[in-house]
């Protein structure tokens, strides 16, 4: 029988962050499986292919300004950071205190306010480069596609699937984060004073390394 999930709040003591901090308690591990529709990497009961997480495993990380390490994973479908302690999985509050996370891999995940498609968003972006007051971010996202049943014997049924989307890049200028231009013309429009540098640069706007290269020239 599927258990009901009742949200409560838990105070996590020094063993977790070195200070008392309030977290929203999602559920215990069993209910966490129901919530996410998967079993930490095993084939899930809902027959959904893939995963909503960038990495299904909880990995060691550190929140800037807090001494103790945490174990976390990023849900790129819900734009949430999940933190695990023992059998308890919790969502990290989207608050300034927990806004900068450094993963064991060296990746940096920041909670920021940004603009995308003329909408204001508060969410997580990966910081991939910074220079002076300018920063370059990457957004990773995953969507859930619906199951498709075969209409006739010539078609094949297709299960529901978590599908990774194309990375989207953002630039922070003058304390404002907007989508990084997708071509030289748009980038020159944003930074006309750098026109000569941009025009002569050999870059692929879909590659991290090339974006960092042009970013370092700005």
What would the DSSP string read from start to end of 7-42? -EEEEE-HHHHSS-EEEEEEEEHHHHHHHHTSBTTB
What's the average model confidence in pLDDT over 166-188? 91
pLDDT digits (tens, 9 = 90+) for 54-89: 999 999 999 999 988 999 999 999 999 999 988 889
* Cβ–Cβ < 8 Å for 101, 61: yes
pLDDT at 201: 86
pTM: 0.75
Between 114 and 10, the more confident residue is 114
Q: What is the pLDDT of the chain when averaged over all its residues?
A: 79
What's the average model confidence in pLDDT over 92-96? 92
Q: Of 46-60, 125-139, 198-212, give the lowest mean pLDDT range.
A: 198-212
Is the pLDDT confidence value at 179 over 90?
Answer: yes
* Cβ–Cβ < 8 Å for 16, 22: no
Is the pLDDT confidence value at 119 over 50?
Answer: yes
How far apart CA 128 and CA 113 sit, in angstroms, is: 16
| Exposure b/e, 177-190, CB count within 10 A at least 16 = b | bebbbeebeebbee
């Amino acid at each position: 029988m599927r258990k009901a999930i009742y949200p409560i709040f838990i105070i996590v003591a020094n063993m977790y962050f070195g200070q008392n901090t309030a977290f929203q308690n999602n559920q215990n591990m069993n209910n966490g499986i129901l919530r996410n529709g998967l079993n930490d990497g095993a084939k899930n009961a809902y027959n959904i292919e893939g995963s909503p997480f960038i990495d299904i495993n909880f990995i060691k990380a550190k929140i800037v300004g807090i001494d103790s390490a945490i174990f976390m994973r990023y849900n790129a479908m819900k734009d949430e950071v999940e933190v695990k302690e023992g059998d308890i999985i919790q969502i990290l509050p989207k608050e300034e205190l927990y806004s900068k996370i450094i993963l064991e891999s060296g990746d940096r995940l920041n909670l920021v306010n940004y603009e995308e498609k003329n909408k204001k968003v508060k969410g997580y972006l990966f910081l991939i480069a910074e220079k002076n007051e300018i920063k370059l971010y990457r957004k990773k996202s995953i969507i859930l596609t619906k199951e498709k049943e075969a209409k006739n014997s010539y078609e094949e049924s297709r299960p529901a699937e978590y599908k990774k989307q194309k990375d989207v890049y953002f630039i922070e200028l003058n304390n404002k984060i907007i989508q990084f231009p997708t071509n030289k013309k748009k980038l020159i429009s944003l930074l006309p004073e750098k026109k000569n540098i941009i025009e002569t640069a050999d870059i692929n706007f879909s590659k991290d390394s090339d974006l960092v290269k042009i970013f370092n020239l700005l």
